[in-house]
Amino acid sequence: MELSLGALAWLFWQLCPLLLPPSARRPYRFDKLTFGAPVSSWFGYPFHLYIGHFWSLCAEEQFYVIWPFVVYQVRKRETLVKICLAVIVLNPIARAVLSVVLSPQLLRMELFYRSLPTRLDALLIGGLVALLMRGPEEAMVRRLRRPLLIVSSVLFVALYFVFTKVLALTLEGSASNWIGVFGFTVIDLFAAALILECIHPGSVLGAVLSWKPLRAVGMISYGFYVYHDLLHDLYSDLAHRISARYARRLKRREGRLGDHWHLDESSFESTANSGICGAQWIRTAT
C-alpha cells in the first residue's frame, strides 16, 4: 500500500507542471531529499539522499495498481491480448501527438521517459508475450523471437543514423524526440525478443545467463538498484577527501558520459520492465 501511494504521488509530481502557467514551469525533478542541519553541518554543505532512480519502481507500482483490476474484470485471454496490442500500437502515436502539443521544456524533463501513461507499451509488451505463450500462439511466438531480435536491432540503428546523421538532430538521450516517440517501443520489442530467446529450451544465451555466479549476482542486483545512488553525496565527499584531484577528474568524466547515460538507462529499464511483467505472467501460468 505504501509503495502504491508513493507511486501515485510520484505520478502527480510528474504531471503537476501541466497545471501550472508557462511562466511558473521550470525543469525541476523531485530527485533528492535534503538532510537536516546536524548532518549537513558535519559535511560542510547541504547533504542529500538521492531518490531519483526510484522513478522506474514508481512507474512499475503504478502499473500494478491498475493492471490486476483490468485482468480481473476482463478475464478472457483473447480480449486481454487485444487490449495489449491496442495500447502497444497507440502509445507511440500518443507520444507523437504529445511531442507536438507539449512544450519543449516539459519534453526536456523526460516526461515520456518517466511517466507511466507514456511507457505502458513497455510493460504491456511483456504482458502480451506471456499471454501469447499461454495460448495456441506459443509456437509462432517462439519462431519469431530471432527475427524480432534482428529487426528491432537494425531498426533502432537505422533510426539513430537517420535522425542524428541525415537529419542532424541533437541526441539528448531519453529526451530526444525520436527516441521518446519511436525508440522506446523498438527497445521494448528487442527486450521481449531477448527474453523469449533466454527462456527458449536449449538456448545458448539462456544457458550462459543461468550460470550459477551470474544467478547469484542477479539475486542481489535489485538491492544494488535500490542502494547504489542513495548516498551519492557521500561517495562524492569520500572521493574529495581521498583525492580532490581524482574527484575532479571523475566529475569531468561523468559530464562527458552524461549524454549517453539516459539512453543506456532507457535500454536497461525497458528490458527490466518488460521482463518483470512477462516473468510475472509466465510464473502464474506455470
Q: What are phi and psi of 137, to 5 degrees?
A: -80, 0
- Residue 188: per-residue pLDDT: 93
d(Cα 95, Cα 90) in Å, to the nearest integer?
Answer: 9
Does a structural domain hold residue 22? no
To the nearest 10 degrees (0 to 180), the angle between helices 244-285 and 55-74 is 10
- Name which residue leads in pLDDT, 81 or 55: 81
Residue 63 to residue 276: CA distance in whole angstroms? 11
Instruction: Give the structural domain span for 186.
Output: 2-15+52-222+265-285
Kindly state the percentage of the chain with pLDDT values over 90: 31
Tell me the C-alpha to C-alpha distance, in Å, between residue 175 and each of 9, 109, 203: 22, 7, 35
Nearest residue to 63 via CA among 82, 32, 84: 84
Stretch 27-55: mean pLDDT = 72
CB 152 within 8 A of CB 197: no
Q: Is residue 260 part of a domain?
A: no
Residue 115 lies in a domain: yes
Kindly state whether residue 255 falls inside one of the protein's structural domains. Answer: no
Question: What's the whole-number average pLDDT of the chain?
Answer: 76
Summarize pLDDT for 183-204 with one digit per residue, the tens: 889 999 999 999 999 999 988 9
Sign of the alpha-carbon torsion through 28, 29, 32, 36? positive
Indicate whether 93 pLDDT > 90: yes
Residue at 245 is within a domain: no
pLDDT tens per residue across span 204-256: 988 998 899 988 988 888 888 888 778 777 777 777 777 666 555 544 444 44
Count of domains forming the chain = 1
Evaluate whether residue 68 is within a structural domain: yes
Per-residue buried b or exposed e for 206-245, using 16+ beta carbons within 10 Å of the residue's own CB: eeeeeeeeeeeeeeeeeeebeeebbebbeeebebeeeeee
24 falls within a domain: no
Domain for residue 274, yes or no? yes
pLDDT of residue 230: 82
Half-sphere exposure at residue 200, Cβ-oriented, CA atoms within 13 angstroms? 20
Per-residue pLDDT, 226: 81
DSSP class of residue 102? S
Q: What is the pLDDT of residue 33?
A: 73
66-101 burial, b if ≥16 CB within 10 A, otherwise e?
ebeeebeeeeeeeebbebbeebbeebbebbeebbee
Q: Which residue has the higher pLDDT, 181 or 2?
A: 181
114, containing H or E segment: helix 111-114
* Segment among 20-34, 104-118, 173-187 with least mean pLDDT: 20-34
> Grid coordinates in use for 112?
515520456
